[in-house]
Structure formats: C-alpha cells, structure tokens
Chain A
Amino acid sequence: MQWLSPLEPQKRHESVRTDRLDSVGNWVLKTNELREWRDMEDGCVEPVLFCCGNPGVGKTFLRWEDLLTGERQCKCH
C-alpha cells in the first residue's frame, strides 16, 4: 500500500473528527445543490461541487462522511 502513496489522509480525518462540533454547518449538507449532486442519476448532474470560503469558516469540519446518511434517496436506476 505504501507503494501506491505515502500519504495517510485517514490520520488527519481522525483528528478532524475528534475536534469538531457535530451540530455545526449541517445546513450545507441539506442544500439542494448538495442533494442533487449526491442523488441524481449518473450523467444527469455536474460531477464537481466546490464548497468555497475563506480560511476558518469551517469547510474542513463539516460532516462530510455523513454525505450518504440520513435522507438519502437514490434516484438512480
């Protein structure tokens, strides 16, 4: 595995997960833009989503791994 890449993003993810406050920023995960990007059928949606903001606004600390949880309703197939 080291052969593929020396980077270990899982470690950073663990510290982000420990330091964050769970309720903060959940509104982003509920936006229509994010829902469409996540749920629409392949090929019907722009594949790239860019969450932009200045340093310190909390982009890193959003609960990205919850992308697929909650009210996920897959419109594919």
Chain B
Amino acid sequence: MIDSLCDQAPGKDIAVVGLYCDFLAQQEQSTISMLGAILKQLIIRGGIPEHIREAFQKAKKEFGGRGLRLPDMVEVLKKTITSLDRVFVCIDALDESAPKHRRELLESLKEIVRVSPNMRILLTGRPHIDCEIAECFSKAVKIPVSPTQDDIKSYLEMKLKSDTAPKAMDAKLWADIMRVIPEKISEV
C-alpha cells in the first residue's frame, strides 16, 4: 500500500500510505503510533522535511518525553500532507483497533482533513463501526464488500491446485467442491 505511484500521474506528487490494525497489537497501536506510522511512510519517500527535524529537536529537549504528543503529531501531519498534491491513507480493519484509540484516530483524521482537502481516507472494517465513523464523518461513503461467485471459484481453484495431498482428489470430487462451496457461501 505504501506504493507511491507517481509515475501514473506525471508531475504530480501522490502518496498512498497504509496501516493494518490488529486485535493482537492493540497495546502498541496507540493513536500516536498509528499516526506516526502514516507520517513515517509519507516522509520515507522524500527525505526528512525541516518542520519534522525541528519537532524532533524540540521533543528531545523536553523532560521525560522524546516522542511527539498527539497535537504536535497532528500539526506535523497537516504540514506534510498539504505539501503533497494528493495523499491516500488506507486503514485496514479499523474495528480491530482499541475503541479509545479508534475514537482519537478518527478525531485526529477529521482535524487533518479539515485543512487538507487533498487527503482521501479509505477505511475497512466490520459494519458495526459504521456509527463511530459517522460521528466524525457524517457523509462517509459506504461500500459493502462481499466475495462474488467468481471470486470464490478462483480462490477455490488456487487452493485445490496447491493441495498437499493431490492423490486424494479426483474429477468428481473436484467438480463437487467447485459447485457446492460457492453455492453455500452465497447463501450465507
């Protein structure tokens, strides 16, 4: 997701950055570390800008704290994002982040988007976090995702071809699997 496909739009500075949330990593996926991961991917592309160097120097002098605080992180992100032509931020499995961090993350993104119209945010997650997203982004566009029959068939074929016990397979079993499983799944 980090791929910045600038060559697709000559002359434009476009960045695609991403995050994966994970139930098992809720502890380390704090709001600040998630925003930091976005920032990190943005600046890896083109060297460390002066405003980030300054923030680092300032934070280093502060008692007990070497990391940026949330309001500072939000400010640094605003500056970094507005300096690019367009930024796509993709956050996968938002529902797997801790509720407290999720709220803060959405609030922070809302604040950044307010001054950065060149930013687009793609969120994925289970449907139940819909209302939390709507609290910050009331007009967010929703796309329900479910696999098509063709998707399921391609996936099954790939799995069957890489089966570790190919001798157990015959044409009839193969055909049965390819017929029954897609039918059953689309009924769910």
Contact = CB atoms under 8 A, between A and B. Distances in A.
Nearest to B92: A60
A72 B8 contact: yes
A74 B12 contact: yes
Residue among A13, A16, A50, A60 with most chain B CB within 10 A? A50
A14 to B, nearest CB: 10
B28 A7 contact: yes
Contacts of A48: 113, 120-123, 133, 137, 139-141
A56 to B, nearest CB: 9
Interface in A23-77: 23-25, 27-28, 31, 33-34, 36-38, 42-43, 46-55, 57-60, 62, 64-65, 67-69, 72, 74, 76
Contacts of A53: 124, 126-127, 144-146
B29 interface: yes
Chain B interface category by residue count: 35 or more
A18 interface: no
Chain A interface category by residue count: 35 or more
Residue among A4, A62, A65, A67 with most chain B CB within 10 A? A4
Contacts of A38: 88, 120
B75 to A, nearest CB: 14
A77 B20 CA distance: 32
Given A9-B1, A51-B124, A68-B8, A24 B151 contact: yes
Interface of B: 1-3, 5, 8-9, 12, 14, 16, 18-20, 22, 28-29, 32-37, 39-41, 43-44, 56, 66-68, 86, 88, 90, 92-93, 113, 117-127, 129-130, 133, 137, 139-148, 151, 154-155, 158
The 5 closest A-B pairs by CB, nearest first: A5-B36, A53-B145, A42-B117, A48-B140, A7-B37
Interface of A: 1, 3-10, 12-13, 16, 21, 23-25, 27-28, 31, 33-34, 36-38, 42-43, 46-55, 57-60, 62, 64-65, 67-69, 72, 74, 76
